[in-house]
Chains A and B, each alone.
Chain A
Amino acid sequence: GNSVTQMEGPVTLSEEAFLTINCTYTATGYPSLFWYVQYPGEGLQLLLKATKADDKGSNKGFEATYRKETTSFHLEKGSVQVSDSAVYFCDLGDNFNKFYFGSGTKLNVKP
């Protein structure tokens, strides 16, 4: 079956540090991959997505590349800001419009 595994948090970084949040998946077929972000007190919102192998999703300085050979979709940002403090969810969407979320990784960025 389909599933997503992402690194446990919390991840604590200083401002301007490099961020990587690991996400690996198990899937049948050709899923799409997403990263969602949840800021304190809010619902989830889409951060970026990739719909096929080797696609790179990017938004607000965040990037993730859909790697079929390693079944991964790691989230990266070159220089984090305090405002990036949030919970990040990796997600897989199958061809039947079902979504499989990871457990979430909390990011704390200190000034």
Chain B
Amino acid sequence: DSGVTQTPKHLITATGQRVTLRCSPRSGDLSVYWYQQSLDQGLQFLIQYYNGEERAKGNILERFSAQQFPDLHSELNLSSLELGDSALYFCASSVAPQGAGTEAFFGQGTRLTVV
């Protein structure tokens, strides 16, 4: 168990809908990352937060947004969903911000299926 909790584990929704994915980081970790993993297995970095502030942005679509709350949990909001958004969405956390050698701890992921 990595200590990172993601809910829900599975989500099936229709095109055009909006969903919210939730992540609770490991106790003490201030940094949260979101990744999208498609069927061809690659990990696409979406966004990073540190202590409530956006730290880095990757290839995140404008239809997607995220935030990190004062209690450090994070939510990823996906709207106007398309079939191509079907993927595994991973959250990871790490001790932040400084220090090389700090690994990321991953949750089990949320499998989103858009039908």
Contact = CB atoms under 8 A, between A and B. Distances in A.
Interface of A: 30-32, 34, 36, 42-46, 49, 51, 87, 89, 91, 93-101, 103-104, 106
Interface in B76-115: 90, 92, 94, 96-109
A100 B98 CA distance: 16
Given A104-B43, A106-B41, A97 B103 contact: no
Contacts, number: 70
B43 A101 contact: yes
Given A43-B90, A98-B48, A104 B103 contact: no
Contacts of A46: 103-105
A98 B56 contact: yes
Given A89-B43, A99-B45, A101-B43, A45 B106 contact: yes
Interface centre among A31, A89, A101 (most CB of B within 10 A): A101
A52 to B, nearest CB: 8
A89 B41 CA distance: 10
Given A43-B107, A97-B94, A104-B41, A51 B2 contact: no
Contacts of A44: 43, 90, 92, 104, 106
12 contacts: A30-B100, A31-B100, A44-B90, A46-B103, A51-B100, A93-B102, A93-B103, A99-B33, A101-B35, A101-B43, A103-B41, A104-B43
B99 to A, nearest CB: 7
Nearest to A51: B101
